[in-house]
Each structure stands twice: as C-alpha cells, then as structure tokens.
C-alpha cells in the first residue's frame, strides 16, 4: 500500500522516524516534539509543517530500551519518493543492535538514495555508517561511542566535538538531547530562524547551541570530576562571568573557605587553579557568543569578563590557536570548537 505523493510546494514535509527493538526513547521523542511544535507554529503562519510517522520494519509494537512500547507503522507503507527526511535514533546497545539488523541497514541504504536528507541521533550514526551513508563524510555521535565509530568506519571523519554535523544530505548528532539541537537546526533550515526560535522558547531550550559546540563542556568536565563541593560555585561563576573581579578571595568566600585552603583544595579536585578554571569558562562562553550572536567582539569581551577586546584576543589565541574574529569567520564553514585544556 502506498501513500499519495506529496505536492511539490504546499504540502507538509513527511518525516519517518525509524525505530527498532531497544531504541532510545529520548532520541526519538525529543526530535518528534520539536517537529510537532514547529508544525503548530507553521500552521499559525499559514505555512505547511511536518507529517511525522513512527515506523519500523513490519510495523507493530516496538519496545524501547527503557521499556516503553510504541505502535509503529510499517515502512513499506511509504514510497521513498514521498518522504522528505528519515531520522534514526540510537541505543546504548548499538553494536549488538546494528549487527542484528541487516534488513534495516539495507532499507536505509536504498531509501537514502531517494529522500532529501537522512539524519541520525546519538548512536543512530552506526546505522548510517553500516548503510554506507557516512563514507567520506564528517559525522559525530555520543562521546562515549566516538572511538567505536572511528574504528568501525575508518573512511568517516569523526568529529569528536560537534553537537551535530551536516554534510551534504546527511546529518548526525551527538548524544541523546543533542537530537533536539539537530531537530531545531533542521526546522531552521526548512522554516526559518523565527520559527525555530519560537519552538525553542516553547520547549524552554537554548537556541541554538552552535553545531560545533563541544559535547563535553567545561561545566560538565568539572562535574564529572566528582566535585559536589564546588558545583554551586561553578554555577555562580557562570552567572557572574561579566565581573572581571572573580578573584580567589571572592570564590573562597562563596564556599566558606580560606583563600589558601580553597586554592589548594580546588586544584586538587578540579585539576587546575581557580584562575585557570575561570579563564576556561570565559573562553567557552566567548566561543558560544561568537557563533550564536551578532555582538561585537568588544561587547563579547566585556560580557565574558575579559575587560577589553585586546585582553580577550590574547587569551583566546592562547587557548584556541586563532583570534576571536578568525574563529567567528571560520565558524561559518564548520571549524570544530575545541579548547586546549592543557593551557
């Protein structure tokens, strides 16, 4: 059974979300919610939105790895020429699942040749890799699975930093919630920045994390080091980055420690001095603003606590290997954001 082909201009874009046993629920539901919200906002403006379908080979009930059971449509209901976008979620058990799914891999290989674009969320990139869709392309996945993706598909240029990557008609995203960033970028490409921004506001998410923002931010690195005593301090630092006077004395007072004991304990727990930590937070914040805002470099320097453009330029070049203006310009062609953590 086939579905009536889409009209060229006025019909909604048809999206197939491809499921399989043990798929990750948030990989699926996050992007689905973005497209659902975008459709409502598009209709309010007299624009076509999206026609979304959750599918699987054979259709029927499919259980996510979290234990939620979904009803899915059979992929055979849809002719590939009628489909705009195919999105494949991931799973924590991706290697076993991919190896057990040769028919799904073959369906993806065949279908991708006819649809406008194919995307993966998280470890769904392994399905795209098995289908040959990443050959000679840049791609990303969850940071935990980066090494496996690189080893399994040596012809793929694996981006270890990116939140999502677009190359030609193929899009891949980092782990789990990065699928929301990917979906917002797809909506922006289809319906424009205003609708994508409205979706982000409705969903109370940050629009939009630059594609090349690191998956593993300075804040997350600090948290992973098991430093609960300093978690509140880190949030306070982020809220006060524009203040140039984030001194050791002030930070020590925030955690009720003497400056000497604080400096020693902080370096022992976090792995760098308090001053270096603040510098890293400032550089990362500057990277985000250079990519996502139209503020001048001097305005960004002051907002991030560097004081002035020249001081930011010196610090930025030491960490990033290029000036803020060069970084902003290179961002248009997808230079990865990768702060040198040894500096």
Active-site residues, by number, are: 122
- Residues 6 or more apart whose CB falls under 8 angstroms from that of 7 comprise none
Report how far residue 217's alpha carbon sits from residue 230's, in angstroms, rounded to the nearest whole number: 16
Look at residue 56 and give its three-state secondary structure. strand
Closest CA to 222 of 270, 283, 266, 281: 270
Beta carbons of 180 and 163 less than 8 angstroms apart: no
Closest CA to 221 of 162, 284, 141: 284
Closest CA to 38 of 185, 175, 179: 185
Report how far residue 166's alpha carbon sits from residue 137's, in angstroms, rounded to the nearest whole number: 9
Residue ranges in the chain assigned as alpha helix (H): 25-44, 94-99, 102-112, 125-130, 146-152, 178-191, 193-203, 218-224, 228-239, 248-254, 259-270, 274-292, 297-303, 309-320, 324-331
Closest CA to 90 of 153, 167, 175: 175
20, 157, 234 from 280: Cα distances, Å: 41, 27, 12
Token look-up 């990768």 returns 338
Report how far residue 187's alpha carbon sits from residue 195's, in angstroms, rounded to the nearest whole number: 8
Report how far residue 140's alpha carbon sits from residue 336's, in angstroms, rounded to the nearest whole number: 11
Report how far residue 132's alpha carbon sits from residue 145's, in angstroms, rounded to the nearest whole number: 18
Look at residue 120 and give its three-state secondary structure. strand
């Amino acid at each position: 059974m086939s579905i009536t082909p889409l009209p060229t201009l006025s019909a909604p874009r048809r999206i197939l979300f491809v499921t399989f046993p043990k798929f990750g629920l948030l990989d699926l539901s996050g992007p689905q919610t973005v497209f659902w919200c975008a459709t409502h906002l598009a209709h309010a403006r007299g624009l076509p939105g999206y026609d979304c379908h959750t599918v699987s080979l054979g259709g029927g009930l499919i259980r996510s790895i979290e234990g939620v059971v979904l009803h899915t449509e059979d992929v055979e209901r849809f002719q590939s020429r009628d489909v705009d976008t195919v999105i494949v979620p991931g799973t924590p058990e991706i290697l076993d699942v991919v190896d057990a799914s040769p028919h799904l891999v073959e369906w993806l290989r065949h279908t991708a040749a006819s649809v406008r674009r194919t995307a993966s969320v998280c470890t769904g990139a392994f399905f795209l890799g098995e289908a040959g869709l990443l050959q000679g392309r840049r791609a990303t996945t969850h940071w935990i699975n980066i090494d496996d993706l690189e080893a399994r598909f040596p012809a793929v240029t694996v981006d270890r930093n990116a939140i999502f990557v677009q190359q030609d008609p193929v899009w891949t995203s980092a782990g789990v919630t990065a699928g929301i960033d990917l979906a917002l970028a797809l909506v922006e490409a289809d319906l424009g920045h205003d609708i994508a921004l409205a979706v982000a506001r409705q969903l109370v998410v940050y629009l939009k994390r630059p594609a090349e923002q690191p998956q593993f931010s300075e804040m997350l690195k600090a948290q992973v080091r098991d430093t609960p005593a300093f978690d509140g301090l880190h949030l306070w630092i982020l809220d006060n980055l524009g203040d140039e006077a984030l001194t050791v004395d002030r930070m020590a007072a925030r955690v009720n420690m003497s400056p000497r004991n604080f400096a020693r304990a902080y370096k022992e727990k976090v792995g760098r001095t308090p001053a270096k930590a603040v510098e890293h937070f400032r550089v990362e914040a500057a990277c985000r603003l250079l990519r996502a805002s139209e503020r001048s470099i001097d305005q960004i320097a002051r907002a991030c606590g560097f004081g002035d453009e020249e001081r930011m330029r010196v610090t930025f070049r030491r960490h990033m290997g290029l000036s803020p203006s060069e970084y902003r310009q290179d961002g248009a062609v997808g230079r990865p954001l990768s702060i040198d953590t040894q500096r």
